[in-house]
Structure 1
Amino acid sequence: MEQESPTARQRRLWDSAAPGYDRQIAFFERVWFGGGREWIGSRAGGRVLEVAIGTGRSLPHYRAGVRLTGIELSPAMLAIAVRRAAGLGIDADLRDGDAEELPFADGTFDTVVCVLALCSIPRPARAVGEMARVLKPGGTLLLLDHVGSSWPILHAVQRLTERGTIRAAGEHFTRRQRPLVEAAGLRITEAQRLKAGTVERIAAVKPAPGKGRVARGANALGHPG
């Protein structure tokens, strides 16, 4: 039997999780990630791509007038997002797609969003590179995810925890998204680390050709990122 690829495995796992996902994530979004989707929605504008849109939990938080496209690896998750968009009266182009191989031309979108997905995408650096590729020069990348804590003891606990979660569900707890954004050549304009540094919000801009790559800033705790 041919070995299952990491991407196929994630598709299967998310298809299986889809029916109960909204119920399971609701508590964590309220307590751990509270205000995160609102933060994303208030900054997204123009032609927007949400990568790994899941069940569409960000849909209510986008401002009126955005032209939204969403891709999702899991057909079962995508079907829920489609129903949610219809129920909200939101006209969005929601389709199957892989974050590591975005089916769009270079420089297509004004804003690219990814919420709570880089923790489980098999090749996150490739995915961030694809997000940067499809952004227009001057466009904005918005990310929200859980990351390795800035507190050493908690970081050690996360590392122990992910020994099981990576095997079971491809879920990482000690990844960090900021270095991937910087490596993709984007300039960070906002960076916040919350909840003992376990939650990171990032806004970054794609420089125009010939402009500088990255200006390092400070995070919400006042320390270098």
Structure 2
Amino acid sequence: MPRIEPFEAHAERYDGWFERHPAAYVSELLALRPFVPMCGRGLEIGVGGGRFAAPLGVQVGIDPSRTMLERARARGVEVFEGTAEQLPFADDSFDHALVVTTLCFVDSPAAMLAEAQRVLRPGGTLVIGFIDRDSPIGRDYEAHREASVFYRDARFHSATEVERLVRDGGFSIRSWAQTLARPLAETALVEPARPGRGEGAFVVVHAVSDKPAR
């Protein structure tokens, strides 16, 4: 079952994270920006309040939380209620898909990737941004997970695990990027993204669908 209760009850608090940590937020956006196509029809899976879809130009978003969807709609995103594992879209509906800090919340990452594969056109782009469990911030989140309203039931993943999930899902990985090498409390300035993984807490994987054209 989707874990929507904390987001329904504390939507303003969750959305406010981006206001409280502007340098980290912009650093994440900059890490994602080179990989999200500027043209074509895009979908964000787990759009939340639209904090990523809107500035990155992703037109459509889906999320199980109605309260968060209201915020995304107010930011100009076309929204749909639903889960990552059962997307309410036809096959080959989108040119690219974005998934940001959603992987840790879904019941089945493999099912989510299967659905992303289904709704993407052949050769479509998949961009996933996530907190690397093996990073200092990831380890801190994991250590304090039980005390967090939002992350209590989350399952964080390492970059190695995400790589395996993406490849098993029928995607070819093109590149990695990373940012947020410092703890959030020390992130006062925007941090440029760097290639690779293993040093930054926020990791981006850029992949393309391997499914053949019909």
TM-score, length of structure 1 as denominator length:
0.73
| Partners of 1:148 and 1:197 within 8 A in 2 | no
Aligned pairs for 1:40-189 (under 5 A) are: 40-42=32-34, 43-44=36-37, 45-63=39-57, 68-85=59-76, 92-149=77-134, 159-162=142-145, 164-165=147-148, 169-176=152-159, 177-189=162-174
2:202 to 178, 199, 202: 199
C-alpha displacement at 1:168, in angstroms?
A: 6.1
Amino acid at match of 2:63: E
Query: % of aligned pairs identical?
Result: 27
Partner of 1:219: none
What is the alpha-carbon distance in structure 1 between the residues aligned to residue 70 and residue 122 of structure 2? 32
| Deviations 1:138-165 (CA, angstroms, capped at 9, x unpaired) | 11001111021257xx776554333555
Q: Secondary structure at the match of 2:4?
A: helix
Name the Cα RMSD after superposition.
2.7
Q: Cα offset for 1:122?
A: 2.2
Indicate whether 1:14 and 2:14 are aligned.
Answer: no
Aligned to 1:3: none
**Alignment coverage as a number of residue pairs:** 191
Q: Does the CA-based 8 Å contact 2:167-2:173 persist in structure 1?
A: yes
Distance 2:40 2:133 in 1: 32
Asked if the contact 1:106–1:135 (Cα under 8 Å) also holds between the matched residues in 2, the reply is: yes
CA distance in 1, matches of 2:54, 2:151: 31
Runs of 4+ that moved beyond 4 A: 154-159, 163-168
How far 1:128 moved relative to its partner? Answer: 1.8
Aligned mates of 2:139, 2:17 — CA distance in 1: 25
Partners of 2:169 and 2:69 in 1: CA distance: 27
Task: Work out whether residues 134 and 158 of structure 2, in 8 Å CA contact, stay in contact via their aligned partners in 1.
Answer: no
Aligned residue type for 2:66: P
* Aligned-residue offset at 1:25: 3.5
Q: Is the 8 A contact 1:40 1:113 kept in 2?
A: no
What runs of 5+ residues in structure 2 fail to find an aligned partner? 182-198
Helix, strand or coil at the partner of 2:23? helix
| Cα drift, residue 62 of structure 1 | 2.6
Change (3 A) 1:203 1:167: closer
- State the AA in 2 paired with 1:78: L
For structure 1, the residue ranges without an aligned partner over 5 or more in a row are 1-5, 86-91, 211-225
TM-score under structure 2 normalisation?
Answer: 0.76
CA distance in structure 1 between the partners assigned to 2:140 and 2:21 by the alignment: 18
How far apart are residue 125 of structure 1 and its match?
2.0
Aligned counterparts of 1:16 and 1:141: Cα–Cα separation in 2: 30
SS of the residue corresponding to residue 35 of structure 1 reads: helix
Report the counterpart of residue 186 of structure 2 in structure 1.
none
Would the aligned equivalents of 1:38 and 1:61 in 2 still touch at CA under 8 Å? no
